[in-house]
Structure 1
C-alpha cells in the first residue's frame, strides 16, 4: 500500500466511513502491539499514534532479548505507520483568505471534554410512531413495512426497495432526521439518492403510488433524483416547491439562515414560491428570502463547493463570519458566542470536517478568527 492509498484509508477511518475490512487494516497496529480490540469509533487518530508509539517503546524493552531481528523489523514498520499518521494529521491545512490579512494568531483551549466532529448519525421515524436509531442498528433488514424492504448496508446507508404491491389504501410516511453533529445517506424506493447534512430531515412515502413523487425537507439536503418523465419529483420546504424530472441539486433551507438557497448541478428544476416561478439551469442558484416571494438567480462559479459538505469538507465562498460559524456549530454540535463587535469580512477556503476542534480553532486563527473553547462552547473573540 502506497502513501496515497494509506492517506485515503486513514481519511475514511477518521470520517467513520471505512468498511469493517478497512477499519481492521488500521486497527491491526493496535492488535499486534496491545493484544486488544481498539475502540472502532475512535476518530482521534492523533491519540492512536501516541498509543502506538508508547506500546512500541514498551514492547521493544520487554522483548529486547527475544528474536531481535524479527522484532526490530516489525516495530520499525509500526513506528513508520505511526509517524505517517502524525504527518497526515499534521499536514491537514486550511487556507482561508480574507480581505485584510496579517492578523496575529491566538488560540485558547480549556481542558474541558473535547468537542468532536460529527459522523453518520440519524433516526428513522416510522409511520406508526416507532423509531430506529440508524447508527446503532445492525446491518441488514431494519424493519418490515408493506410493499418495501428497508435495509442498512455495510457502508451505513439506508436503502428502500420495492418488493410488491401494498395492501394499504394510503401510503405510509417515514422520516429520517439527522441531529446536530450528524449526517446520513439514504436511497428512496425509486432509486433517488438523498444526503442529509447536520440538523436536517426528509419526510417521504415508502412507496410513490400517486402521479408524482413528493417529499418534504428541512435543513440541508442534496438530491440525485432518479429520472421518471411520467412521475415528476417534487420537494417541498417551508419556503418553496421544487419540481424536477431527474437531476442533481442541493437545498439549504435551515430556519436560522436568512435565505433558502437551491443550487442546480445537473439537469433542470423549476422552483416556485407563491406566484413566482423560476427555471434553473446547471450552475445557477436560486435565493428566496423569508420575507419575500421574489426568487433571485445567480451564477455559481464552483457548484462543487456548495456540496463540499457531502464530500467531507466545509468550503466557504465569500462567506461572512456568522455563516462560517453556523456551519461549524451544526457539525460539531456546539454553541457559538461572540465577544465584542462581529467583524464585517469575507472568508474563502476549505476545511476538513473530520478535524478535531483544537486543529479547527488553530486553522481558523490563521485568518483572524480567534476562538477559545470552554464548557462545550466556542467563543469568537475580536482579536
Structure 2
C-alpha cells in the first residue's frame, strides 16, 4: 500500500509539472490539504495533523514569496503552480513517514543521538588577515576600510557599501567569506550583487569593483543575484570553469566531492566557459562541467530542485543515496560511513533543512535504509527487508 501511494503521488506530480494532469488530478493536488481534516481515515494524531498543516502553510508562503522575488515577470498562476508542486511532493513524503512502520530501535536511536541542523555561520577574512566570526558579530558596522563600509544587517546579511566616490578607494583588496559544514551566509557585494553561500563554501571577492570586469572566485555552492552594470561583466571562477554574465540569477554547485560542476540558470542568460569549450544557457537549463576532460554538456532541468536549499529545503528527485548523504553531511556537519552493499536506489521528496537529522533519515527508512547516529558520525546500511 505504501509503495502504491508513493508512486501515485509521484505520477500525478510529474503530470502536473508537465501540464498534462487532468482537471480531476489538478483538483486533487490543490485540495489535498483538506484531507488532513479526516484524521481517523489517515491514522494521524492531532499533533501530527497540526504539525503537517503548519509545515504546508509555511512552505507555501515561503515558496510564493521566493518566486515573486526571483521571477517578477512570470504570471501568478506559474508561481502558484511551482510552489504547489514542491509542497505537494514534500507533503506526500511527510505522509509516508507518518504512516510507514518504524522499528522502535531506530526511533529511539535517533531521539537519543540527534543532530541539530545548520544555520547562519561564516568567517570573513579581510586583506590584512583579520578574521571576523560573523555569527558572533553584532549588527551594525563591523569594519571600515578606505572608502568601504562593511556592515551586518538586522537579518544577518553582510553588506559592502562604497562611501562616496569610488576613486578614493585604494587599489581593491581581496576579501574572503567562508562557511563551515553546517553553515550558510548571505553577502551583498559593493556593486549590489547578492550572494548566498551554502555549507562548506567560500567566496573570494574584491572590496570594490573598479576594473572593467567584476571577478569573484567560488569554492562549493552559491546562489547569485547579479546587479546589472552596463559594460561591466560579472565573472564567477570555480575549479577551472568561468561563468560570465551582465545581470542575472543563477546557482553554481562546484563542490570538489561532486562529479561535475553544475551551473543552473533561473533568469537572464549566462555563458559558461571550460577549457576551449563555451556554451550559452537559458532559464531552466543547466551545464555539467567535467573537470577532468573539460567537457561541457547542457540539459533542461527543474530549477526548483537545484535552488531548494536557498528556500531552506532539501529536495530529492531521483537522487541516489550517496548523493543525498553528501548534501546531508555538509548541512549537519557529520561524517558518513557506509557498511555493506549500498544499492543504487533513487529517492524522491522534500523536507525542511530546519529539521533535525533524525527527521531526514525517516525518509531513507522508507527504502530499507538504516542508520545509527553516534556523535558526529552516521553509519548507514541497507537491508533487502524492512
TM-score (norm 1): 0.73
Show the 5 A alignment for 1:20-99: 87-88=50-51, 95-96=92-93
Structure 2 residue matching 1:363: 3-state secondary structure: helix
Superposed displacement of residue 111, structure 1: 7.3
Superposed displacement of residue 292, structure 1: 1.1
Partner of 1:148: 148
Distance 1:290 1:202 in 2: 19
User: Structure 1's 135 and 84: CA in aligned 2 closer, same or farther, altered over 3 A?
Assistant: farther
The higher radius of gyration belongs to 1
Show the 5 A alignment for 1:14-25: none
Check if 1:265 corresponds to 2:228: no
User: Structure 1's 111 and 348: CA in aligned 2 closer, same or farther, altered over 3 A?
Assistant: closer
Contact 1:146 1:166 in 2 (8 A): no
User: Structure 1's 277 and 204: CA in aligned 2 closer, same or farther, altered over 3 A?
Assistant: same
Show the 5 A alignment for 1:226-245: 226-245=227-246
Superposed displacement of residue 190, structure 1: 0.7
Structure (1 or 2) with the greater helix fraction: 2
Partner of 1:344: 344
Contact 1:159 1:189 in 2 (8 A): yes
Contact 1:265 1:282 in 2 (8 A): yes
TM-score (norm 2): 0.72
Question: Bigger relative contact order, structure 1 or 2, given CA contacts below 8 A and separation 6+?
Answer: 1
Superposed displacement of residue 120, structure 1: 0.4
Structure 2 residue matching 1:271: 3-state secondary structure: strand
Show the 5 A alignment for 1:171-190: 171-190=172-191
Distance 2:161 2:170 in 1: 19
Distance 1:89 1:355 in 2: 13
Distance 1:330 1:234 in 2: 26
Unmatched 5+ stretches in structure 1? 1-82
Aligned-residue Cα RMSD (Å) equals 2.4
Partner of 1:361: 361
Compare 310-319 and 356-365 and name the one that shifted more. Answer: 356-365
Superposed displacement of residue 366, structure 1: 2.1
Partner of 1:255: 256
Contact 1:105 1:370 in 2 (8 A): no
Contact 2:147 2:169 in 1 (8 A): no
Distance 2:47 2:161 in 1: 42
Contact 2:150 2:161 in 1 (8 A): yes
Superposed displacement of residue 116, structure 1: 1.3
Check if 1:132 corresponds to 2:95: no
Superposed displacement of residue 115, structure 1: 1.5
Distance 1:278 1:112 in 2: 50
Superposed displacement of residue 192, structure 1: 0.6
Superposed displacement of residue 347, structure 1: 1.4
Partner of 1:31: none
Partner of 1:284: 285
Deviations 1:142-189 (A, max 9, x none): 111111111100100001111133656521111000000000011111
Deviations 1:79-109 (A, max 9, x none): xxxx979942797566459xxxx99745251
Contact 1:124 1:174 in 2 (8 A): yes
Partner of 2:81: none
User: Structure 1's 90 and 364: CA in aligned 2 closer, same or farther, altered over 3 A?
Assistant: farther
Name the count of aligned residue pairs: 296
Contact 1:104 1:368 in 2 (8 A): no
Superposed displacement of residue 130, structure 1: 0.6
